[in-house]
Structure 1
Amino acid sequence: MDVNYINPIISSFASVMPQLGLPAVEKKGISLKGRFIESPGVVIIVGIIGDIKGNVIYGLSLEAAKTIASTMMMGMPVENFDELAQSAISELTNMITATVATNFSKEDININISTPTLVHGSFTANASSDKVVCVQMGVGDMNIDVNISMEKNTI
């Protein structure tokens, strides 16, 4: 995977989160993972196709997902990770990944994104390639793993 694919994702994350009332966004670390991504509670998968193909797999704890959903819904309490809270988190990842597409277009790289797929519970997700770069982002006292599995499309 080209490391130049990482910065547009980090910058979109740092740009979108504060707009939704989620301050103190910071990159906490970068690591390499294999194809299999263990769920920390909630996983959202967004497919990438175009000049680049692959996926971005966002992972966060159930408590972090409920806190972020509550913030996005103007402080409405989220006691259960119900359909409304799931929709808010899916829309967040949609906004972040759409901004990634815009950032790539500034580099003359054209991509389209899929509708986010949200799954929660205990399971293992399967990335689109064997090498995954995980960027751990901090949002206040919460962590979100941004697992990036992308490569140049040769078709």
Structure 2
Amino acid sequence: MRLDYINPIIDSAVNVLADFTSAPVKRGTMQLQQGSTRNNDVAAIIGIAGEVEGRIILEMGRDTALSMAGMMNDEQFTELSPLALDTLMELANVMVARAVSALNDKGYAFRLTPPLIFTGANLSTFNNLSLETLVIPLYAKAGDMDLNVALRLKTI
């Protein structure tokens, strides 16, 4: 994975979280993982296409998901209702769309898919593209989250 792709994605995620929570966001130490990744209870997934192929996953525990959705809607959630899940999909969508827009402004040609969200205890993802996944911990006012980025140059 190229850092010129990754840095705008990380910067966008940190800035969007800080905007929505009105508080600073800390970034943890990045780690590379191969194959499947063990997710938390909620995973919002956005596919990336164009010059690259892959996906970006924003994952978090249930309590963090409820807190984040509550902050974004200015109300308290006690369950992962359709509104809470839509809110979390929009959070991931805004993060990735801002990054893709910034990358496209630099001359790249990236596209994104609509977000999907999955919930359940100890979700895991597996990619059949043999992609390394860069896992970036994010520490926000709403709670801890991981941003999983798996991208590679598209082969024809």
Q: Which moved more, 1:91-100 or 1:13-22?
A: 13-22
Q: Which moved more, 1:131-140 or 1:61-70?
A: 131-140
Q: Secondary structure at the match of 1:20?
A: helix
Q: Which amino acid aligns with 1:133?
A: L
Superposed CA RMSD in Å reads 1.4
What's the CA shift string for 1:86-114, capped at 9, x where partnerless? 00000000000100111211321111111
TM-score by length of 1: 0.92
Distance 1:4 1:36 in 2: 24
Distance 1:13 1:119 in 2: 19
Name the residue aligned to 1:48.
48
Contact 2:18 2:140 in 1 (8 A): no
Name the residue aligned to 2:112.
113
Contact 1:49 1:111 in 2 (8 A): yes
Q: Which moved more, 1:122-131 or 1:24-33?
A: 122-131
Equivalent pairs: percent with the same residue? 22
Where do 1:4-153 residues align within 5 Å? 4-74=4-74, 76-122=75-121, 123-127=123-127, 128-140=129-141, 142-153=143-154
Distance 1:22 1:119 in 2: 26
- Which consecutive unaligned segments of at least 5 residues does structure 2 have? none
TM-score by length of 2: 0.92
> Any runs of at least 4 consecutive aligned residues in structure 1 with deviations exceeding 2 A, and if so which?
127-130
Q: 1:77 to 1:141 in 2, by over 3 A?
A: closer
